[in-house]
Amino acid sequence: MTVTSTTCANPVLLDAQYMKLYNPVGSSEAAPSSTGYIWVNFCLWATAVLFSISQRHAIQPSAKSFDRGDSGIYYILQSLVFLVASAVAYVSYKRTEHAVKQAMTQILMLVNSVVAVSCFLMYLRAGYTVLDGAGNPADSIRYLAWFHDQSDLVYVACLLTGTNNATRGRATAYSHMTFVFGFFACLARHPYDQLFGTIALVCHLRLMNEIVNMFKAAIEGTQRGHGIGGADVWSLERCREVIVYSHGYISVSWFLVRINAIRFDTGELHIAMGEVVAKIVFMLVIINCSFKEPLSLGVAGNCLDGQGPAVDKLNQENSHLLSTGEEYACATIFCSSIVGFRKLSHQTPKKEMLVFLNNLWTKYDAISKKHGVKKVEITGDAFLAVVGTPSCVTDHAERAASFALDILEMIKGVRSLAGEQVQIRIGLCSGPVTVQVVGDMNPVWLLVGDSVSTAKRMEATSKQSRIHVSQSTYSLIKTKFAMSLPEVVNTEVGDFVTSSYLGRDSETFYVDGRL
């Protein structure tokens, strides 16, 4: 591997401490970590269930005397239904090639299997059971299944919406506390049962609030570069409704049984129907959801047609990159996206949207040639480019800045098919990158480095019609362009210093009331 050096003051290492905290759940590298989480969760559930069964046979031989009415019929039917659902999830898991969608269907397959086994064990009355304050049986098997399934479903929702780790942790904690305090409410006697029941209700409401907020953010397109990030709006809306309404229905049914407002077996029937919606309907929506492949924060590739002269040209121009790759001490990464693209694409017929995007990217290409910008990848509304590789230039940051300004000027004349002004966000970052062409039949031009991730973050945190630059790029162009003062930007993963530039001269100006 060769190293090409260019001058780069204050490179992307200035933002490295922030980037180390980020682990993109939507990348192909991140998908396996989700399977590790669910298998640990599954092992904990299995261990707890075995302990419950051992306790039942050791100290509770009269558990079958609890009056459950017709609930046994509901348990066996529910077990069969979820067994079929597990098979459906397995077929979907084997057929899909999308890494994160595979992870989600694998989780749902495991969830459905746990429900099927748990319902069968409750039918056999195999687990440890207590009587609550109202005299109704409270199966530890049921609460262990809820404890396991709810956290897995929260994880799937986080993957689907691209939620950051902090929000995911809060949602999982609220989920666990809901069922822990709910079970305590069954064990405790008055008035402590009401206290624990109230705490469980508060935790459930907090969980639903987190769920609603994460889906709202995903639908509005405010979380870019996380998770799958490409689920269609209709599917996101349906998943949100399924989660909120079904879990609300289950909670109300559980509460009515606890206060003897309905019979125990009637409550079990309603809970079973709620679980079918919460898990099976949710699974079917995800299976039929359409996704676009995300733009990876760490690795960006431009897939080309495996036929014709385009591949030959790529091989000729980048023959030195085919085997060993090449490192560049400094280049400038450009990243842009359309504000509100999800809503725009949802409202526009697919063929018309493709024509619109083709016209837009053609204009991008024309401006790219003017400034010597190398297009790396186009994914839906996202455009990734680089200056300073494979052709080394010392003024890569200036070229990228001029290119970004010309793009903003061009976009002022672009309108959607509905006649609305199109707005974009732009991010720039300068720093070391590694480039290599990989593959034979379908060569891929790979651009690797923290600067790619940081440029993506600059774009994600930018205001519309603004250009957000990292500290490393700022240090290279601050004397040649009108720059706002450096500021600390808060993200989900930490604070870091950036700045925005808005003009072509070095005159002092005001931005949002600041000098």
106-140 residue pLDDT tens? 899 999 999 999 999 999 988 888 888 778 888 88
Least confident of 225-234, 242-251, 264-273, 325-334: 225-234
Do 2-20+297-503 and 31-287 show the same overall fold? no
Residue 14 has pLDDT above 70, yes or no: no
Token pair listed for 19: 């980037």
The C-alpha atoms of residue 236 and residue 218 are separated, in whole angstroms, by: 8
- Would you tell me how many other CB atoms lie within 10 Å of the CB of residue 504? 12
Q: What is the model's pLDDT at position 65?
A: 59
Least confident of 12-16, 97-101, 312-316: 12-16
The stretch 434-448 carries a mean pLDDT of: 73
Q: How confident is the model at residue 7 (pLDDT cuts 50, 70, 90)?
A: very low
* 299 Cα distance to chain centroid: 17
Q: What ranges do the domains of the chain cover? A: 2-20+297-503, 31-287
Q: Pairing relation of β-strands 137-139 and 374-379?
A: unpaired
The C-alpha atoms of residue 164 and residue 153 are separated, in whole angstroms, by: 16
Q: What is the model's pLDDT at position 451?
A: 85
Angle 386-388-392 from CA coordinates, rounded to 5°: 155
Q: What is the model's pLDDT at position 69?
A: 83
CATH class of 31-287: mainly alpha
Q: Which of 274, 154, 143 is nearest to 196 (CA)?
A: 143
The C-alpha atoms of residue 324 and residue 99 are separated, in whole angstroms, by: 27
Burial, 357: exposed, middle or buried (Cβ in 10 Å; 0-12, 13-18, 19+)?
middle
Residue 458 has pLDDT above 90, yes or no: no
Fold of 2-20+297-503: Alpha-Beta Plaits (3.30.70)
Higher pLDDT residue, 83 or 56? 83
The stretch 435-464 carries a mean pLDDT of: 79
pTM of the predicted model, to two decimals?
Answer: 0.54
The C-alpha atoms of residue 249 and residue 246 are separated, in whole angstroms, by: 5
